[in-house]
């Protein structure tokens, strides 16, 4: 199956290799936010990175964020100050 684009507020959607990402599709007319179009190839060229490098960075970020949340939950359970 070929995908032309994905619509999401999350930039990590690009790691699923959709060629185009549309953001702000669900904003109300009152917010007057334009729909953003992010082209995966242009983004990769601008970052001077390959898709595998970007995916690795995203995975590292989420592992770090998960570990931090886990520490916060453990500290709350133990009633100790956060690190």
d(C-alpha 67, C-alpha 12), whole Å = 18
Cβ contact 44:51 at 8 Å: yes
d(C-alpha 20, C-alpha 12), whole Å = 12
pLDDT(2) > 60: yes
What is the pTM assigned to this prediction? 0.64
Share of the chain above pLDDT 90, in %: 8
Higher local confidence (pLDDT), 69 or 49: 49
Cβ contact 43:56 at 8 Å: no
d(C-alpha 43, C-alpha 72), whole Å = 34
Higher local confidence (pLDDT), 44 or 76: 44
| Strand partners for 21 | 6, 38
């Amino acid at each position: 199956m070929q995908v032309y684009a994905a619509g999401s507020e999350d930039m990590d959607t690009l790691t699923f290799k959709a060629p185009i990402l549309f953001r702000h599709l669900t904003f109300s007319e009152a917010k007057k936010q334009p729909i953003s179009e992010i082209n995966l190839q242009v983004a990769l060229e601008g970052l001077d990175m390959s898709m595998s490098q970007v995916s690795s960075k995203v995975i590292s970020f989420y592992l770090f964020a998960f570990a931090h949340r886990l520490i916060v939950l453990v500290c709350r359970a133990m009633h100790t100050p956060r690190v």
